[in-house]
Structure 1
Amino acid sequence: MPFVRCVVLGTSLLMKPESGTSLTRRLALSISMLLIAGGALVSLAALAYGRQAAQTAFDRLLLGSARQIEASTSVLDGQVMADIPVSAFELLALAPEDRVVYRIVGHDGKTLTGYDSLVIPKENMAEVAYYDLEFGGEPIRVVALSHRFAERAFSGTIQVLVGHTLRARKALAQELVGSAILVVALVGVSMAGLAIFAVYSALRPLHRIERSFSSRDPRDLTPLDVAVPSELTPVVNAINRFMSRLGRQMETTNNLIADSAHQLRTPVAALRAQTELATEESDPAALAKALARIHARSRSLSRLTDQLLNRALVIHRNDSAVRTLVDVRTVAIETVDEFDIDSQGRSRELRLQLPEHAVWVRGDVLSLREACKNLVNNAFAHGQPPVTLSVFAEQGKVILAVEDRGKGMDPQTTSRAGERFLQSEETGRSGSGIGLAIVHEVTRAHEGSLRYSVDEVQGFKVSMVLPGENNASKD
């Protein structure tokens, strides 16, 4: 078994991935090592089988010869007589280089005929026994056959011994082994050729994947559509997922550039014009009004810039941030703590409703907090105070809701909620519409949904419905 262990160890070393090595070469070498190991085992088995087959064939010839000699013996006048026929040695004589010896031993242990040097083992012999001896300086194979006479003139057991040298046996064994090894070698070579062909055929889909990539436009990030075996499907799926993430990142970058160019140009130009007018204003009252407009414009521009950058950050974290267990109550509390007071220094009317026990989701706490802040900002910007931020669990879902006393959005706007700049383009109300787009992106990334509800008494409510994480041990 040491040889087999060496082959297995060599195969495992060949299969270890190394940078810059050929997968085809590693597979070919590994298969070759396995074929060599299998060929060696088959050769050893053929050698044992060849020797056993030759031994069995010639032992049967020896037994047949001994049976004929036994049949030729008889009792005459109380004496055992043997008239050995020539046919008893004809088959053994077909091996011209081998010698045939025989001996008939009487019941008293004396030789009746044959060679006295053809000895019998001391141990008890069965009716038919085979053993090996050395006769005349050459090894021989002997069969001993016991025959019992029970007649009035003679009663006793005689033994017939027939021996044959081993030259023909060895030649037959070598011929059998040689033929078997030749067959194994031919089969091994054929299998090696088929294995190499199979390896190249199995790796051909990899070349199709490479050709598909090299032939497409560098900006084409559509999913890869190549016919591959089922074993390579996970690889293609992983490539497509990576390309999808890369496509989303590029889309985010392009949208950020386009939105910045489109949305920031006008307020920056207006701010510059108002600043130029203020520098030329001599009336203190008019100057104060101009500065107030500049301050309001600056706050609006700052808010728009923050939302553009935050949306890009949220989309980026959707693909890159590690999801952890988050207590949504903590998200709500941190939102309230970070919420700005209004320009006059008075706290806004923001109420907080939380359950006694933790409510867990698996997600990105920064993205969830940003979505929550935008919901609260939208409620104050477009609704009526007081604003209530609540967290609760319902049928395995975690709900983070923001409610105000306003009338809410009309059905047409609600159906398009989540689009960038929807409010500024559709309703003409103040705001960029990016806040709700951020909420939509965060909810979608967390495999949740947005709910909108309007009640004449309670007002307008926006709810983020997220999959709950059942982990009571964290409470």
Structure 2
Amino acid sequence: MTSIRSRLLLWIGLPFTLVGLLTLVTSYYVLSRQITETFDGMLLNAAERLERRIYSVDGELRINMHYFSISTLGSRGDGKIFYRIRDAEGNMLAGFDGLDDPPGSLDEPLFYDTRYAGNTLRAVATTFPVVRSTHSDQIEVIVAESTEARENLINEFLLTLTILIALGGLLAVTIALLAIHRGLAPLRSISRSLRRRSQNDLEPIEAEVPREVSTLVASINGLMQRMRQSIYNTQQFNADVSHQLRTPLSEIRALAELAVRQPDAPRARHNLHEIGRIAESAGYMVQQLLTLAKARHELMDASAMTEINLAETCREACTEAISRIYQRGQELEFCAADEDSRILGDSVMLRWLVQNLIENASQHAGGSQPYRGTIYVAVCHCPDGMQLRVSDDGIGVRPQQLDRITERFYRASPETPGSGLGLAIVDEIARAHGASLAFDSPPGQGLTVTVTFPHTRPNGPTADPAR
């Protein structure tokens, strides 16, 4: 994986190199046109200067060679000059007869490329009138120059421009390196701060960072917060297990010692019966604690949820609980709407939710007396999504207790058996699914627990909807 520094240098250097090459290509065409126009102007000026050197004597055309030489044509001295002068009848007056004729008419000065004596030439051809005794005549003048001077001048300009672009590129890379070094300083500072921390230091990063880095810092702080919460949950779980199992284990040990010391067989059988009951209660407590640990909403991955049929999941949970409910002299009634009841969720956790709601109604609906009524489970649609309702015909819960019944180990009726974790597990599973949990207990009409699942995917495991 390449570093950020390398990527930044690449994305700075590559465009600059492309711009430099484009500049060189564009400059070549622009300079070629400008230099060609300048040199063509010099050639035309040299041809026009010949007009002043030609005169007529007794009807014959002559050239004043005393004032005219090749050097007067205006060459920079880097190339070769060729010229040709003819009259209207095609008679040579001066110059090089082997120069090619112009490719078109000479109504105006004509520039063209040609070759002569192994030289590549740029030529201009023009005509001007000359008076011969009693009549006027036209003189054709061709002046040509080899292209070495033009090419050398273009090369000099391009070489100079290339050097300037290279120096500018080196300067830009140097400035970019400095800017990258300074720009990445907050990341290096955060890295050093994290390396200096101990493995148990999960406090948020408190540092002044640029706006672009603040998102990264916020993500790291969020991760640390989730790690702290996870560690806290683990520690809390260990404390809960230790606290809740200490008492039943002590009772089991005391009853076992009494059973060994007492010779009375009926009394010993009673103690052994109590040992079995306490052991069963302790086993149920451990099972509920493990379920609570697995159902923590902070650990739930919302992206792993799948589309499930809520009614079918509730029917499976009722089927598993029906035999236990009948043994206790109770009835279980399940009702589901015929419409589509699909939601996004985890089927195993939702079965735990339904089973704990049924078990809570079965054990606590009657208060201090065993419940002998019916437990109702219903799935239906509502404007906010899908609703699951579990209700009973028991004594209900006092209004001042409704806000506490989802607390761990809290029981509205302490005289009834149970772990005090059932509704806490229901609350965690509901929060993990982005669902809301509501309780309703009119006086003397039992308790109704309503879980409302949203239509859309829940926001994630950290969502904490209003209950």
| TM-score with structure 2 setting the length | 0.83
The answer on whether the counterparts of 1:101 and 1:114 sit within 8 Å (CA) in structure 2 is yes
Please say if 1:403 is aligned against 2:385: no
- Aligned twin of 1:444: 431
* Aligned pair partner of 2:344 in 341, 362, 375: 362
Seen in structure 2, the aligned counterparts of structure 1 residues 418 and 71 have a Cα distance that, compared at 3 Å, is farther
* Aligned-residue offset at 1:225: 4.4
Seen in structure 2, the aligned counterparts of structure 1 residues 113 and 310 have a Cα distance that, compared at 3 Å, is same
Seen in structure 2, the aligned counterparts of structure 1 residues 97 and 454 have a Cα distance that, compared at 3 Å, is closer
Seen in structure 2, the aligned counterparts of structure 1 residues 345 and 97 have a Cα distance that, compared at 3 Å, is closer
Please say if 1:206 is aligned against 2:193: no
What is the CA deviation profile of residues 364-404 of structure 1, one whole-angstrom value per residue up to 9, with x for unaligned ones?
Answer: 22222212211111111211431111111200322112111
What is the CA deviation profile of residues 139-191 of structure 1, one whole-angstrom value per residue up to 9, with x for unaligned ones?
Answer: 33211224579999657764331222334323321221122112111111111
Distance 2:405 2:52 in 1: 111
* Aligned-residue offset at 1:241: 4.2
SS at match of 1:415: coil
Please say if 1:390 is aligned against 2:378: yes
Unmatched segments (≥5 aa) in structure 1:
1-16, 471-475
255-264 vs 121-130, which deviates more?
121-130
Please say if 1:374 is aligned against 2:356: yes
- Aligned twin of 2:158: 177
* Aligned pair partner of 1:308 in 289, 304, 309: 289
* Aligned pair partner of 1:323 in 295, 300, 305: 305
Seen in structure 2, the aligned counterparts of structure 1 residues 330 and 156 have a Cα distance that, compared at 3 Å, is farther
Please say if 1:294 is aligned against 2:275: yes
* Aligned pair partner of 1:463 in 450, 454, 464: 450
Seen in structure 2, the aligned counterparts of structure 1 residues 393 and 83 have a Cα distance that, compared at 3 Å, is farther
The answer on whether the counterparts of 2:337 and 2:379 sit within 8 Å (CA) in structure 1 is yes
The answer on whether the counterparts of 2:396 and 2:443 sit within 8 Å (CA) in structure 1 is no
Q: Pairwise mapping of residues 141-160 of structure 1 onto structure 2 (< 5 A)?
A: 141-147=122-128, 158-160=139-141
- Aligned twin of 1:168: 149
Distance 1:86 1:435 in 2: 121
Please say if 1:191 is aligned against 2:175: no
* Aligned-residue offset at 1:460: 1.4
- Aligned twin of 2:334: 352
Distance 1:86 1:411 in 2: 126
What is the CA deviation profile of residues 273-293 of structure 1, one whole-angstrom value per residue up to 9, with x for unaligned ones?
Answer: 223323444445434433432
* Aligned pair partner of 2:245 in 264, 275, 298: 264
Over the matched positions of the two proteins, sequence identity in percent amounts to: 29
The answer on whether the counterparts of 2:60 and 2:132 sit within 8 Å (CA) in structure 1 is no
Q: Pairwise mapping of residues 24-173 of structure 1 onto structure 2 (< 5 A)?
A: 24-28=5-9, 31-69=12-50, 92-93=73-74, 95-122=76-103, 127-147=108-128, 158-173=139-154
The answer on whether the counterparts of 2:316 and 2:351 sit within 8 Å (CA) in structure 1 is yes
- Aligned twin of 1:5: none
Distance 1:227 1:377 in 2: 53
284-293 vs 458-467, which deviates more?
284-293
- Aligned twin of 1:12: none
* Aligned-residue offset at 1:329: 0.8
* Aligned pair partner of 2:404 in 392, 411, 416: 416
Distance 1:396 1:74 in 2: 109
Unmatched segments (≥5 aa) in structure 2:
367-372, 458-467
One-letter amino acid matched to 1:422:
Y
What is the CA deviation profile of residues 49-76 of structure 1, one whole-angstrom value per residue up to 9, with x for unaligned ones?
Answer: 4433322221121123334445777899
Distance 2:311 2:138 in 1: 105
Distance 1:317 1:337 in 2: 28
The answer on whether the counterparts of 1:317 and 1:367 sit within 8 Å (CA) in structure 2 is no
Q: Name the count of aligned residue pairs.
A: 450
Distance 1:428 1:357 in 2: 41
SS at match of 1:187: helix
* Aligned-residue offset at 1:333: 1.0
429-438 vs 40-49, which deviates more?
40-49
One-letter amino acid matched to 1:325:
E
The answer on whether the counterparts of 1:453 and 1:461 sit within 8 Å (CA) in structure 2 is yes
One-letter amino acid matched to 1:337:
T
